[in-house]
Homo-oligomer: A and B are copies of this chain.
């Protein structure tokens, strides 16, 4: 299922074209940066990565393109605590456990949310999206440190 990065870039650019969007330098580079990341990036990080190759690209263009990509289902964003939102290819969607103390991120399979999702649906007819916000808490190391202090 894993495509060559360059093929993956073209697949996404084709999707953009088919939706009537123009292929610009900033869009191509943003797509490349998202694929290279294979991970989460803030808008600021993505701007930096694009600007290393094309310094004139502005942050507002990155934000506008991320919004557009999100509308098309190419990327999604998630919130990992207090700072900036993080963006990633939709294909890489999964849940996150983020430590409130040290900020470390654990990626977790959706399966872990199944029981919660089922209960919310049966009891409250509410459809949870477990990806949009991380689950905050404490990682092993920070839990240990906290109990030392207390």
**Which residues of A line the B interface, CB within 8 A?**
79, 97, 99-100, 106, 108, 112-113, 115-116, 119-120, 123-130, 132-140, 143
Q: A133-B136, A135-B133 are in contact. Are A97 and B112 (CB under 8 A)?
A: no
Name A135's contact: one of B115, B123, B130 (CB within 8 Å): B130
The answer to whether A136 and B143 touch across the interface, beta carbons within 8 angstroms, is no
The answer to whether A140 and B128 touch across the interface, beta carbons within 8 angstroms, is no
The answer to whether B127 and A143 touch across the interface, beta carbons within 8 angstroms, is yes
Secondary structure of the A side of the interface?
Answer: mixed
B residues near A100, Cβ cutoff 8 Å: 129, 132
State how many angstroms separate the Cβ of A150 from the closest Cβ of chain B.
12
- Residue from A113, A127, A129, A130 with most neighbouring chain B CB atoms (10 Å): A127
In the complex, besides A113-B116, A127-B138, A128-B137, 16 extra interface pairs with C-beta distance below 8 angstroms are A79-B79, A97-B120, A97-B124, A106-B126, A108-B124, A112-B119, A112-B120, A115-B115, A126-B138, A126-B139, A127-B137, A129-B137, A129-B138, A133-B133, A133-B135, A133-B136
